[in-house]
Structure 1
Amino acid sequence: MTKKKASSGTAKKFIIALVLLIIISLGITCVVYYLRYFGPNVSDKQQYLYIHTGATFDDVYKTIRDEGIVKDTTTFHWAAVNMKYTTRVKPGRYRLHEGMSNRKFINMLASGAQEPVTLAFHNLRLKEQFAGFVSKKIEPDSIAILNLLDSAAYVKQYGFTTDNVYTMFMPNSYQLYWNTSPEKLFKRMYANYEKFWTPERKQRAAEINLSPVQVSILASIVDAEALHDDEMPTIAGLYLNRLKKGMKLESDPTVIFALHDFTIHRVLNKDLKVISPYNTYMYAGLPPGPVMMPSINAVNSVLDYKASNYIYMCAKADFSGYHAFATNVADHLINAHKFQQALDARHIEK
């Protein structure tokens, strides 16, 4: 009887020990599981993870490993496989937060919950400059963007030519995703262009016998001429007077654009001989495209120009950035002579 009790007690102890061992094992498993999924793993070494279009999981894993984005790459890889992220890779720019768990990190990547970039641009003179600037903000390179800008067939579908397509890009601040394609960028910019050109603005353009594109081309000249925004409406009115009279615009910024020498401060007679449709000293009317990206202020200044009889202007001799305006050649020559003397006094020859 005593032996049976001892044997029974031993069995109970064994069962209790076994249960405790199972509980401890399950506890350890739960802890390991928790740490692999929910424990902090993202480091503070990088602010963003960039996943390029067409990247595979192996590409992403290599970037994460090489840039030290997570502290434990083994648990990340294990979690990624178990969460089936290996087949759900999405390109983008992902904001990292120190201490993010594998689960939260992978869910963000798999859902494509990327942080948008802010694209703000203005006063960019050339298409090449625009393409280069934008390519620093989004994934496509400048060549891919420029190829569309220079594609006659592509820009034609939006109603532009390769000369005037630059008028479509309205200076502003835009939110878009880093992996936005050049084609989607165009659609976004065109949508904003269409939004800007309301029926009211189109009507005001028609009243001065200009299309929206022509307004922007003239605005680019006004913008290049004006150092101060408050003078833009007067300059716009002057050029509209010249267009109405059939006079050549004779704008120095158009000659500088034709020469592609933006270091010029003083346009000389030899510069006026450049053969180019942008040389408004040689050809009447508007040039085929803008000489810079016109600001919205400049566009509005053309639409809301200041009426006057001015047909001549010259930079003031005080170098204030303002202009001396004239209604006749005699007064203009006096103003021009004063400015030329001021240039000579400062030894500005080019």
Structure 2
Amino acid sequence: MVKKILLVFLFLGVAMLGVLIWGKQQLNTYLETPRVNEEQLFTLPDGSYFSHLAPQLIAQGLLDNDRWWRVLSKLRPELTHIKSGTYLLPKGASLEELLVIFNEGKAFQFKLTFVEGSTYKDWLNVLAKAKQLKPLEYSEADLLSKLGSKETKIEGLLFPETYHYTANMSAYSVIKKAYLHQQAVVKKLWEKRDPDLPYKTPYEALIMASIIEKESGLSDDRDKIASVFVNRLRIGMRLQTDPTVIYGMGERYDGRIRTKDLRENTAYNTYTIDGLPPTPIAMPSEEALYAALHPAQTKYLYFVSKGDGTSYFSKNLREHNNAVNKYIRGK
């Protein structure tokens, strides 16, 4: 009788071991089977719990069923501490790899790129098209107030580069980051500026940098272009730069500047006003600001585009007119 009982227990033990081995194999298959056919974004809303996750994965075709979900939570509790956020799921990822991603909480970083010389209007268009970014809710005046700026326009105050953000961040957070970055760059470069420059404030240097940015095709020309404008300011000569005319025209600009446009007395038309315009006309790069604060030492007063991204520089009007005939009029 004892032997029979022992045999029964032995049989039950073997059977239970077999079930455990089978269960472990099934769980491993459940965890290790590739689930993601194509790279995609997946969002875990705020307040998500592990128990909520299986239905979400099933709904998006990333999981066939949840029959092993409770077993998984008992045997692999370290995978259950999921965090809300939007995640990039790599192609071929298994359920275990997905759970590791959700547990690490490294949310996907979206990015926005603002190019040098772009305007605030351009920035607003980029922000409006950005994925999963909360829209900007402030007028320009309110935005400047919230940022703590005393200026009347935000033009020029934002540093152009690539910014990263996570899902549901606000456009204001991107603007603030760009504003603080530009403030830091201006402060750093202003403190190391050349002596005897014709700028009273860092803001005036920023205005000049924005003009240089719009006028320069190649970085090698920036310091020489800066020298032309600085030389003009020093002798009281008008800057006479087309980008300021275009900025002053606003929505009326159709790709052409006519003689009447050069004569129109807008606040930005440097053909009709003395000195610098009242604000920057674009978001300048650090390189343009550096050029404004470290212009080349020249006697140039004129320059004209050669059509290849470079410019021809002249010391007098006669030489400049000859250059215009050669490079613009083809004479």
TM-score range, shorter chain: 0.7 to 0.9
SS at match of 2:156: helix
Residue 223 of structure 1 corresponds to which residue in structure 2?
Answer: 213
Rounded Cα–Cα distance in structure 2 between residues aligned with 1:340 and 1:87: 67
Residue 171 of structure 1 corresponds to which residue in structure 2?
Answer: 160
SS at match of 2:88: strand
Identity of aligned residues (%): 20
> Larger C-alpha radius of gyration, 1 or 2?
1
* Structure 1 unmatched runs, 5+: 1-6, 346-350
**8 Å Cα contact 2:213/2:284 also seen in 1:** yes
Residue 186 of structure 1 corresponds to which residue in structure 2?
Answer: 175
Residue 341 of structure 1 corresponds to which residue in structure 2?
Answer: 329
1:236 Cα deviation after fit: 0.9
Residue 141 of structure 2 corresponds to which residue in structure 1?
Answer: 152
Residue 261 of structure 2 corresponds to which residue in structure 1?
Answer: 271
1:220 Cα deviation after fit: 1.9
Rounded Cα–Cα distance in structure 1 between residues aligned with 2:130 and 2:118: 18
1:275 Cα deviation after fit: 5.3
**8 Å Cα contact 1:220/1:290 also seen in 2:** yes
Q: What do residues 96-130 of structure 1 show as CA deviations (whole Å, max 9, x unaligned)?
A: 3524334x423422442224355544235222322
The normalised TM-score by structure 1 is 0.73
* Structure 2 unmatched runs, 5+: none
Q: Could you tell me which of 48, 51, 56 is aligned with 2:43?
A: 51
SS at match of 1:197: helix
Rounded Cα–Cα distance in structure 2 between residues aligned with 1:88 and 1:9: 51
**8 Å Cα contact 1:205/1:212 also seen in 2:** no
- Structure-to-structure mapping, 1:15-94, within 5 angstroms: 15-36=9-30, 39-51=31-43, 64-68=57-61, 70-74=62-66, 89-94=83-88
Rounded Cα–Cα distance in structure 1 between residues aligned with 2:173 and 2:70: 36
**8 Å Cα contact 2:209/2:288 also seen in 1:** yes
Q: Could you tell me which of 101, 123, 129 is aligned with 2:122?
A: 129
**8 Å Cα contact 2:159/2:179 also seen in 1:** no
**8 Å Cα contact 2:43/2:87 also seen in 1:** yes
**8 Å Cα contact 2:214/2:282 also seen in 1:** yes
Relative to structure 1, the CA distance from residue 124 to residue 243 in structure 2 (aligned partners, 3 Å threshold; closer, same or farther) is closer
1:294 Cα deviation after fit: 1.9
1:55 Cα deviation after fit: 7.9
Structure 1 residues 225-234 or 126-135, which shifts more?
Answer: 126-135
Aligned CA RMSD, in angstroms, stands at: 3.9
Aligned AA for 1:314?
V
SS at match of 1:74: coil
Residue 3 of structure 1 corresponds to which residue in structure 2?
Answer: none
